[in-house]
Amino acid sequence: MLSEKEKFELITQISLDLNEVKDIDLLLDRILTNARKFFNADAGSIYLTEGDGLKFSYTQNNTLQKRLKRGRKLFFNTFTIPINNHSIAGFVAKNLKTVNIPDVYEMSSVVPYTFDSYFDKRAKYRTRSMLTVPMTNQRKDLLGVMQIINALDDEGNVTPFSPSDESLIGHFATTAALALARAQMTRNIILRMISMAELRDPKETGPHVNRVGAYAVEIYETWAATKGLPDEEIERKKDSLRMAAMLHDVGKVAISDLILKKADRLTPEEFAIMKSHTYLGARLFKNMQSDFEEVAAQVAVSHHE
């Protein structure tokens, strides 16, 4: 386990690390990875605020991951829970209070929330200790809830989270929330650009571009691993790649509706114009000032190849 000095040094490094990540999905992965490393936890989850509820958005679990073949990833279903006192995450979100539970199966009957054991039974996993914290911005607006599960001692045995962990995770959650707010703003800007393209081409929807971004990252990670690229380089490049892939067809905003929405087969001349959306999209990023803009230009101009 980390010493107190090592924990404070790590939290400083984590702050710098999180500020480098721009894509929200990759940021959730980084937040949870760092939190679990910091508190030596086996598993964890992040819920993001969505309307009046909490959306289960990301999860990690070392024990379950080890059961999979090498290179395979955990799959999970997203769902939404209400922000109320009935669930642990809902209680934390509603009251903006950190909750530290030594064993979720032996909670006091006085507390208003309960633990849903459905996942444990289905996955054949045993959740014990749980530390749950609200993620808020500087105005105390709720952005989400982070749970880290099953603290481990040096021998790998599950232990309760210590009282000192409660204050430390508060600092960590504040740093993570600031990075999350910035990533959400970046994602919203990208989605607005996509919405602009969607007005021209109804097939260019938010779910479609999210899938393209996810596929691009998965393909890149597999390719990079076979090439033996350093983990640091893979992490850095897939951040820019995911956002760039979401904007692959942004050049279609410059194509005439007569061609873009034509129901019949395009003539050779019309098809040549349609293909121009690749370099027209790349031109949007011609004054490159960041790695993201460079990757976005490359993706736009060559995504059909």
**Per-residue confidence (pLDDT) for residue 7, from 0 to 100:** 67
Low-confidence residues in the chain, pLDDT < 50:
none
- In this prediction, residue 294 carries a pLDDT of 86
Q: Which residues are within 8 A (CB) of 116 and not within 5 positions of it... i.e. 6 or more apart?
A: 87
Strands (E), 83-209: 99-101, 130-136, 142-152, 158-159
Provide the pLDDT for residue 36: 92
Do residues 284 and 250 touch, judged by C-beta distance below 8 A? yes
Instruction: Say whether pTM exceeds 0.85.
Output: no
Contact 186, 27 (CB under 8 A): no
Residue 126, classed as helix, strand or coil, is coil
Give which of 196, 129, 131 is closest to 158, Cα–Cα: 129
Cα 206 from Cα 77, distance rounded (Å):
19
99-101/142-152 β-pairing: unpaired
Q: How much is the pLDDT for 59?
A: 93
* pLDDT score recorded for residue 12: 67
CATH architecture entry for 4-182: 2-Layer Sandwich (3.30)
Domain boundaries along the sequence of the chain: 4-182, 201-302
The pLDDT, as a whole number, for residue 5 is: 67
Q: Write down the pLDDT at residue 159.
A: 96
Alpha-carbon span 47 to 59, nearest angstrom: 9
208-256 pLDDT tens trace: 888 888 899 889 988 998 888 888 788 778 878 888 888 888 888 888 8
C-alpha torsion 94→95→97→98, nearest 10:
-30
Question: Residue 10 corresponds to which tokens in the numbers above?
Answer: 């790590």
How far is residue 256's CA from residue 288's CA, in Å, rounded to a whole number? 27
pLDDT value of residue 2? 65
DSSP string, 143-157: EEEEEEEEEE-TTS-
- What was the pLDDT predicted at 202? 64
161-198 pLDDT tens trace: 999 888 888 878 888 888 888 887 877 777 777 777 66
pLDDT the model gives residue 120: 93
pLDDT at residue 236, rounded to an integer: 76
pLDDT at position 257 is 82
| Separation CA 11–CA 149 (nearest Å) | 19
- The radius of gyration of the chain from alpha carbons, rounded to an integer in Å, stands at 22
Token readout for 144 is: 């989400």
Class of domain 201-302: mainly alpha
Structure tokens at 249: 């067809």
pLDDT of amino acid 206:
67
| Among the listed residues 237, 245, 250, 251, the one whose alpha carbon sits nearest the alpha carbon of residue 212 | 245
Please tell me the predicted confidence (pLDDT) of residue 263: 84
Q: Judge whether 116 and 104 are in contact, CB under 8 Å.
A: no
Rounded to whole angstroms, the Cα distance separating 64 from 58 reads 15
Residue with tokens 């992040």: 46
